[in-house]
Amino acid sequence: MWSVFELCSLNDLALIGNDKFYFTNDRKYCYYMETVFRVPFGSVGYYDGSHAELMVEDLFIPNGLALSNDKKYVVHIALPNKA
């Protein structure tokens, strides 16, 4: 099973198979506070059909995933953390 923080605010999915996918969480706690104070609590994770794991953390509002054609690489987009 996974914790609430691993799948807390799904924003995008990149499907690999019937039960496997990459995902982005655009926030971890409070969207307003994270946005106003530019706190990077977003993440990219992977779900393998039974277990979710965060692969990259401390991103500022990640939004968007893309897989390479051979599904070996995943690219994510996040906002810059500087004003």
pLDDT for res 1: 45
Buried b (16+ CB within 10 A) or exposed e, 10-25: ebbebebeeeebbbbb
pLDDT tens, per residue, the chain with 83 residues: 445 445 667 788 899 988 999 999 887 666 667 777 777 888 899 999 888 888 988 888 888 899 999 988 999 888 887 65
Question: Which amino acid, residue 15?
Answer: L
The SS3 of residue 46 is strand
pLDDT for res 9: 73
The SS3 of residue 31 is helix
pLDDT for res 66: 93
User: Which pTM value belongs to this model?
Assistant: 0.78
Q: Which of 75, 76, 82, 8 is nearest to 39 (CA)?
A: 82
Q: How far apart are CA 28 and CA 81, in angstroms?
A: 15
